[in-house]
Amino acid sequence: EAAVTQSPRNKVTVTGGNVTLSCRQTNSHNYMYWYRQDTGHGLRLIHYSYGAGNLQIGDVPDGYKATRTTQEDFFLLLELASPSQTSLYFCASSDPPGLGGAEQFFGPGTRLTVL
């Protein structure tokens, strides 16, 4: 069954810490996305990718790096974590939009707390 998985599901770190969030999709999709979800803001796009080795900057990229190592795997890196990055992070994948639009398939989320 096609799926998007994320790890870890929960993470606590300290200010200045180094965090890597992982995402794997088995949908054979070319496109992958990282979002953060905060109360009062909805989902905001951090980075996205059109394929292995490709990286596109989203709407709220500051403080985040990302790397797409394979078609399946997309990583979000916080090299100097700050309390403002405490959030719920979602990964998603999709096909190109085509004429019918592109449904995005989401992982279950990673809750990150930066103390």
Partner 1 sequence: GDSVTQTEGPVTVSESESLIINCTYSATSIAYPNLFWYVRYPGEGLQLLLKVITAGQKGSSRGFEATYNKETTSFHLQKASVQESDSAVYYCALGHSGGSNAKLTFGKGTKLSVKS
Q: Footprint of partner 1 on this chain (CB under 8 A)?
A: 4, 31, 37, 40-45, 48, 50, 58, 90, 92, 94-109
Tell me the Ramachandran region of residue 110: left when phi exceeds 0, alpha when psi lies from -120 to 50, beta otherwise: beta
Shortest spacing between CB 110 and partner 1, in angstroms: 10
Shortest spacing between CB 74 and partner 1, in angstroms: 14
Which residues have C-beta within 8 Å of that of residue 109, sequence separation ≥ 6?
6, 9, 37, 88, 89, 90
Of the pair 17, 71, the CB lying nearest partner 1 is at 71
Of the pair 17, 109, the CB lying nearest partner 1 is at 109
**If you search the block for the tokens 């929960």, which residue do you land on?**
10
The burial class, CB within 10 Å (0-12 / 13-18 / 19+), for 47 is: buried
Q: Are 67 and 12 in contact (CB under 8 A)?
A: no
Of the pair 75, 106, the CB lying nearest partner 1 is at 106
Helix, coil or strand: residue 74:
strand
Of the pair 58, 63, the CB lying nearest partner 1 is at 58
Shortest spacing between CB 86 and partner 1, in angstroms: 18
Shortest spacing between CB 14 and partner 1, in angstroms: 26
